[in-house]
Chain A
């Protein structure tokens, strides 16, 4: 079973009078527990692919199946519900809420739910990513690596099937980047979560199961042995 299955994705943007084809028929599938990196030069359509896989954008053509369910034509509200249920996000610039403590930031995705265990699970997740002693720190009291760990913990609070990471090591030094990638690797292995990381960083490829290359909106296959 695949967690996510994209078939012949095409995305066109209309800018001014011109039509820009960001994705030109991309096929992509992800297994549970698989860690995949998407590499490619700027403007190759990486982020567009990630947005479509993350149900933040819809493809112009093609189908998208999430856990064998066709989710291509869902409206904004339904996609939001699914994002919450199945998808976690990690961003290059962390995007933590500066006014909330680490543990509150982890709770954010579930803040509006009736969930008695929310606080405990947030603590637990933070402890697992090694921030058990930083629970009540605000983001500005944390280092870049620590912020990214908080973001990872946040992406896991809804027990997603997939985590999508946009340049997760882009704002970190090499050593910290390795720690974060270790974290992803462990999550994929221990929790059976599929992870897709869009990146420029060659370092990522040392940790992933396979790498796909996106050039000009089309895939170039290249498999790496982990």
Chain B
């Protein structure tokens, strides 16, 4: 098979033989390319993995809208009517969960009393899962605690917490949800709604299907409730998520850019190797010119050598990078096959192409030098 390849592309034959003549040198020159490719592709894929792991964590954050009373306008609480209006504004597909919060004196398991923010919730069973115990439905008595609270205070279902002087039994420990969500119960203590004295709600969490739907809901809520008076402030997190993603992309670009420098260094080592080789093979090149090789034929052979160095280095580099990518994805996204995403393949392809381009560019000057040598001068030795 090689034989027929060589017959068709004699340049490849000559270039390949020339490279194998100084095998160690050629391998070292392509090693630079290998490292450059790995640097670019791995950093690129690392960035992608990191970004996707962050956005997994941010998860539904972009889909959430928080509605709170506009205290600047003197609105202290959101009423049942406000909640109805919000529900009407966002439509049936968007979940609306009103919440109360208040600072209350708490002591865990007869410990010292502290003032802490506690949350009220209507229907916890529909929102959370219990990691321990059972969430009562309906939720009328007892308390629910988040996993982090349970761990810090060494709580289990059945333990008691004293809230505002009343002992309450822990019913369940709630599973953490995605860590950046405003509904994440991890660090919270939930009481049933009746445990709060104040009327109305302090916060309404609106969760839509997507970031775009969340944005629409936010606008609908503003239109519906802030018509005559600025009753509510609506907080959208989609923009924040976009900003975080954008920042990640910038960081990633900078990293890949730095990695690209290593490919330039590799290019210089190819330039060096090729220059050495043209000096050493001066006479051979002179003979080629004498027996009827045009300048461009010599140029072709030399450029082919540089290209082969780049292609060889690129292939090895892409192979190693793919493995690195599998490992990165295994640890950051916990799914090695996430490596085969289109972006990652894009990075591999880009690193490979860049490697070849850099190699060819590095070969240009030595090749030109070899081709423009006068055969008479070259043969004089």
Tell yes or no: B289 within 8 A of A by CB. Answer: yes
Q: How far is the CA of A81 from the CA of B379 in the complex (A)?
A: 19
- Determine which of A98, A100, A104, A109 lies in contact with B291 in the assembled complex, contact meaning CB atoms within 8 Å: A109
| Pairwise interchain contact A56-B376, C-beta atoms closer than 8 A | yes
Q: What string of 1s and 0s marks CB contacts (under 8 Å) between A189-205 and chain B?
A: 00000000000000000
Q: How far apart are A140's CB and chain B's nearest CB, in angstroms?
A: 11
Tell yes or no: A178 within 8 A of B by CB. Answer: no
- Determine which of A57, A95, A104, A158 lies in contact with B292 in the assembled complex, contact meaning CB atoms within 8 Å: A158
| Pairwise interchain contact A112-B287, C-beta atoms closer than 8 A | no
Stretch of B17-25, B46-54, B62-70, B159-167 lying at the A interface: B17-25
Q: How far apart are B300's CB and chain A's nearest CB, in angstroms?
A: 8
Tell yes or no: B284 within 8 A of A by CB. Answer: yes
Which parts of B263-288 form the interface with A (CB within 8 Å)?
Answer: 283-284, 286-288
Which parts of B72-93 form the interface with A (CB within 8 Å)?
Answer: none
Q: How far apart are A54's CB and chain B's nearest CB, in angstroms?
A: 7
Q: How far is the CA of A57 from the CA of B290 in the complex (A)?
A: 11
Q: Which residues on the B side are within 8 Å of A84 (C-beta)? A: 291-292
| Pairwise interchain contact A111-B14, C-beta atoms closer than 8 A | yes
Q: How far is the CA of A111 from the CA of B293 in the complex (A)?
A: 9
Q: Which residues on the B side are within 8 Å of A81 (C-beta)? A: 292, 294
| Pairwise interchain contact A108-B290, C-beta atoms closer than 8 A | no
Q: Which residues on the B side are within 8 Å of A108 (C-beta)? A: 288, 291
Which parts of A45-85 form the interface with B (CB within 8 Å)?
Answer: 51, 54, 56-57, 76-77, 80-81, 83-85
Tell yes or no: A185 within 8 A of B by CB. Answer: no
Tell yes or no: A207 within 8 A of B by CB. Answer: no
Which parts of A110-165 form the interface with B (CB within 8 Å)?
Answer: 111-112, 154-155, 158
Q: Which residues on the A side are within 8 Å of B294 (C-beta)? A: 77, 80-81
Tell yes or no: B375 within 8 A of A by CB. Answer: yes
Tell yes or no: A35 within 8 A of B by CB. Answer: no
Tell yes or no: A97 within 8 A of B by CB. Answer: yes
Tell yes or no: A91 within 8 A of B by CB. Answer: yes
Tell yes or no: B346 within 8 A of A by CB. Answer: no
Given contact pairs A95-B283, A99-B20, A89 touches B295 in the complex (Cβ within 8 A): no
| Pairwise interchain contact A83-B292, C-beta atoms closer than 8 A | yes
| Pairwise interchain contact A83-B290, C-beta atoms closer than 8 A | yes
Q: What is the total number of residues of chain A having a CB less than 8 Å from a CB of chain B?
A: 28
Q: Which residues on the A side are within 8 Å of B289 (C-beta)? A: 80
| Pairwise interchain contact B376-A89, C-beta atoms closer than 8 A | no
Which parts of B11-51 form the interface with A (CB within 8 Å)?
Answer: 11, 13-14, 17-18, 20-21
Q: How far is the CA of A155 from the CA of B287 in the complex (A)?
A: 11
- Please give me the residue from chain B that is nearest to A109 by CB atom: B291
Q: Which residues on the B side are within 8 Å of A77 (C-beta)? A: 294-295
Tell yes or no: B56 within 8 A of A by CB. Answer: no
Tell yes or no: B10 within 8 A of A by CB. Answer: yes
Q: How far is the CA of A84 from the CA of B294 in the complex (A)?
A: 10
Q: Which residues on the B side are within 8 Å of A112 (C-beta)? A: 10-11, 293, 297
| Pairwise interchain contact B293-A91, C-beta atoms closer than 8 A | no
Q: How far is the CA of A97 from the CA of B20 in the complex (A)?
A: 13
Q: Which residues on the A side are within 8 Å of B293 (C-beta)? A: 80, 109, 112
- Determine which of A56, A100, A155 lies in contact with B375 in the assembled complex, contact meaning CB atoms within 8 Å: A56
Q: How far apart are A168's CB and chain B's nearest CB, in angstroms?
A: 14
| Pairwise interchain contact A51-B292, C-beta atoms closer than 8 A | no
| Pairwise interchain contact A99-B287, C-beta atoms closer than 8 A | no
Q: How far is the CA of A98 from the CA of B375 in the complex (A)?
A: 19
Q: How far is the CA of A165 from the CA of B290 in the complex (A)?
A: 12
Q: Which residues on the A side are within 8 Å of B284 (C-beta)? A: 95, 97
- Please give me the residue from chain A that is nearest to B18 by CB atom: A99
Nearest 7 pairs of A and B residues by beta carbon: A84-B292, A99-B17, A109-B291, A111-B10, A95-B287, A56-B376, A89-B290
Residue contacts A-B, CB under 8 angstroms, 10 given: A54-B290, A56-B375, A80-B292, A80-B294, A81-B294, A84-B291, A104-B13, A108-B288, A111-B13, A158-B292
